Amino acid sequence: MIQKTHQKDNSEFEANVPQEIPDELEQHPLTSWIRDKGWDWFDHQIHTLKAAQDDKDIVVFAPTGAGKTLCGFLPSLVDLYHRGSNKKLHTLYISPLKALAVDVHRNITKPSEDLDLDFTFETRTGDTPQSRRARQKKKPPDMLMTTPESLALMLSYEDSHEYFKDLKFIIIDELHAFLHSKRADLLSLNLERLNQFAPQVQRIGLSATICDKETAKDWLCRKDSSIVQIEQKVLPQVKILQSDQRMPWSGHSATYAVEQIYEAIKKVNLAVVFVNTRAQAEFMFQSLWQLNDDNLKIGVHHGSLEKELRRKVEAHMASGELDCVVATGSLDLGLDWADVDLVLQVGAPKGVSRLIQRIGRSNHRLNEPSQALLVPTNRFEYIECLAAIEEIQKGHLDGIDPKEGSLDVLAQHIFGVACHRLFDAQKLYEEVIKAWPYKNLSEKDFYDCVAFVKDGGYALKSYERFSRLVEDGDQDNVFKLRDKRDARRYRMNIGTIVEAPMLKVMMRNRTLGNIEENFINNLTEGDTFLFGGKVLRFDGIHNAIVKVSKSKDKQAKIPSYAGGRMPLSTHLSNAVRGMIGNPNTWAGFPEQIQFWLKLQQEKSSMPDQKRLLVETFPRDKKHYMVAYTFIGWNANQTLGYLVLRRMKRLNLKPLGFVMTDYALTVWSFNPIKNPEEIFEPGLIYEDFEEWIFDTPLIKRLFRDTAVISGLVERRHPGEVKTGRQVLMSTDLIYDVLMKYEPEHILLKAAYEDARHGLIDSDRLRDFLIQSKENIEHKQLDQISPMAVPAVLLIQRETVAREEREDYVIEDMEAEILAEAGIHDPN
């Protein structure tokens, strides 16, 4: 870690006026150790140390690979050295990824062994064996590297306040990757717990560079606080793959570019091909292998592969045995696996920060910029890639949008607090509202959550005799677990990530990983699908295990991908709009992109940053409307439902809608004559409330809420069912609650999640207000060039499943283009 940092940023250091190094650091053996190697400390490292010595909380912002981890650990290393170990936990390092905790542990080992430093450090994650956990409990190390879930678990032990009471530093890595998720709520609540046990504790956050630093600081810091920014000297070199092949108007498979991707990875030692979904990963992996005449060693890495398989790929990367890895977000976060020479991003980046994060995987050479190649899979994505590159060059990054605390996470937390020991509810409320996400939490919501944990919180008290919590003796408002054995239930259910129901995939006796139950339900025996880079034959389900065998088929169905849709960031979508709306920027685009844009301009109009372009046209005895909203998939989906409702009321006889990140397409029997009437801002106020409790989306969210809050227990893949488990669909529970207790706290929890997440109503509201009186309506005789992908999407949804192969899509694309009188010369 230290070595890399200094190699990489050497030039930066020399250019700076050296900061005065505090005595404590001067005396630390690390200082002579690095000076022996010809380096010295950086300003940002000294800044961080000094701020920590002034008893401040700190957030360090840095580009990937700039050595921010050492920055975070330095105050702790210096303090420990001078104070000496007292056999109590001194520093807690928390990362969103288990693997990252392990990695950081490895990086500290080297200097610590070289210098024979007198402190202990260990990891503690879900993978840590029981024996080591027990030892850690008795004999805490000085430093512990862990995850938010493992922290929650540790805090639920009865003696946790003793365990953590001497804690001096908490280091939270990859802060930017947390803040929009429920894991951030969980972490934030537990940080407040730690503050109760160890009021002296200082928080140090490490984050990638983001544009809204103050918000991140407010989220994390409690004390007087300080921001440290590490500047990036060398900008990454990002290019778009230039192909002479025809780039499709729609789709996401990148078939046209596979050969060139292969050529690109052939030229370097180690390339990582990032894709956005697991399905794309499988597809790309297989496509590359089909070309692999040079016997390149290509691996695949995604979240539903069995842990051992993933670890194997990671190890092979690190040891240099692999030439290329096709990966999804599972390989995203700040891991220093290996010297990656080239990063390819296939598909739109969806956000500037995440792209930078991915590109950052390849900058491990002295003073050399990161190398990255973007591969758009359709013409819209080409523009998005271009816009992202421009934003990187300008240094414009996405903001972060920390979420309001979710009530289901709060309920889980309250249960955890009770597992630790009895608690005074009012004092706990005061503690909880100190956590940033819960600063606006009302007392009522809090007490409703307590009541829910106690016995379900129903208006009827029929469950009281089984309640989980009881009041302690005659103390009012002080609660404790009725039965301490219930702590086990809490510990089994910790966490905020609820996967779509998954089934274990096994070939003979070997476990290959997990796959969505929904996908498997659509298969019949003999069907083939891609998984872990292999074509597998589906042999049936036995005892909740998917049995498969090898298949010789080359063609296979590709696994569906339920979760993990990445929202298009507002920042990037604005940049895309800006580019499309300004023909002066088009000159540098490849010919086929220019052709497409000019044709659109000629046949219809161009959306831009101010106006909402709405096209209407008849097609096949129906009427279509395409609205170029650029508000992302989630908000477009919500808009689609609302628009459909309104169209029904206006007797336009709507038939359906489809959406992309960029546009919403609706088709109906009667034509829309007046889009103003449809997109009037009242939509979000009047129709929204009525609609939201009725949508299938909220039921999906309710399922997560039910699990996180502990209403139903988590199902672990492959687990055999027992009579104790609630296996009925949470949809049934939702319907009953809606009817009999619409004010219930869990419905409120799901509703709030819906508003901020899947439904994205905030973004939608801003959009509707902005679009008011800014709608450009084009009444066309036929489909416009930009509408081709949207209409194709409809076709694609309506053809039979077995016909959804890509070549069929290509034919359909050609048909639609011909129908619109568009001759694509490419």
CB-based contact 349:380 (threshold 8 Å): no
CB-based contact 664:786 (threshold 8 Å): no
Interface pick for another protein out of 54, 290, 427, 466 (rule CB under 8 A): 466
CB-based contact 659:633 (threshold 8 Å): yes
Give the integer Cα–Cα distance in Å for 59 and 236. 24
Which of 18, 540 has the CB closer to another protein?
Answer: 540
Of residues 603-642, which lie at the interface with another protein (CB under 8 A)? none
Secondary structure (3-state) at 685:
helix
Least distance in angstroms from the C-beta of 712 to another protein: 7
Least distance in angstroms from the C-beta of 203 to another protein: 35
CB-based contact 57:224 (threshold 8 Å): yes
Which of 15, 728 has the CB closer to another protein?
Answer: 728
Residues 6+ apart with CB under 8 A from 642: 683, 684, 687, 688, 691
For residue 482, CA distances in Å to 28, 427, 468, 473, 635 come to 51, 20, 6, 12, 44
Least distance in angstroms from the C-beta of 714 to another protein: 12
Which of 8, 454 has the CB closer to another protein?
Answer: 454
712 lines the binding site for another protein (CB under 8 A): yes
Task: Give 467-474's long-range contacts (Cβ < 8 A, gap of 24+).
Answer: 468/415, 468/418, 469/418, 472/422
- CA geometry: angle 709, 764, 578, nearest 5 deg: 130
Query: How many residues of this chain interact with another protein, rule: CB under 8 A?
Result: 34
Q: How many CA atoms lie within 13 A of 508 on its CB side?
A: 1
CB-based contact 41:34 (threshold 8 Å): yes
Q: Residues 244-263 vs another protein: string with x where CB under 8 A?
A: --------------------
726 lines the binding site for another protein (CB under 8 A): yes
**Lateral strand order in the sheet of 775-779:** 654-659, 663-668, 622-628, 612-619, 775-779
716 lines the binding site for another protein (CB under 8 A): no
Least distance in angstroms from the C-beta of 156 to another protein: 16
Q: Which stretch binds another protein (CB under 8 A): 209-217, 346-354, 359-367, 733-741?
A: 733-741
Q: Residues 482-521 vs another protein: string with x where CB under 8 A?
A: ----x--x-------------------------------x
793 lines the binding site for another protein (CB under 8 A): no
Only one residue has tokens 């997109």, namely 679
Least distance in angstroms from the C-beta of 697 to another protein: 15
Give the integer Cα–Cα distance in Å for 688 and 591. 43
Question: Could you tell me which of 307, 392, 309, 312 has the C-alpha nearest to residue 349?
Answer: 392
721 lines the binding site for another protein (CB under 8 A): no
Least distance in angstroms from the C-beta of 749 to another protein: 14
737 lines the binding site for another protein (CB under 8 A): yes
First to last CA, the chain: 49
166 lines the binding site for another protein (CB under 8 A): no
Give the integer Cα–Cα distance in Å for 239 and 246. 18
Least distance in angstroms from the C-beta of 408 to another protein: 14
Least distance in angstroms from the C-beta of 744 to another protein: 8
Q: Which stretch binds another protein (CB under 8 A): 269-277, 290-298, 555-563, 730-738?
A: 730-738
Question: Could you tell me which of 360, 273, 355 has the C-alpha nearest to residue 322?
Answer: 273
456 lines the binding site for another protein (CB under 8 A): yes
Least distance in angstroms from the C-beta of 737 to another protein: 5
Which of 37, 716 has the CB closer to another protein?
Answer: 716
Secondary structure (3-state) at 594:
helix
Q: Residues 407-446 vs another protein: string with x where CB under 8 A?
A: ----------------------------------------
Sign of CA pseudo-dihedral 688, 692, 696, 702: positive
462 lines the binding site for another protein (CB under 8 A): yes
Interface pick for another protein out of 267, 552, 554, 739 (rule CB under 8 A): 739
Which of 486, 806 has the CB closer to another protein?
Answer: 486
Give the integer Cα–Cα distance in Å for 610 and 767. 10
Q: Binding residues for another protein, per CB under 8 A? A: 452, 455-458, 460, 462-463, 466-468, 486, 489, 521-522, 710-713, 724, 726-729, 732-733, 736-737, 739-741, 744, 797-798
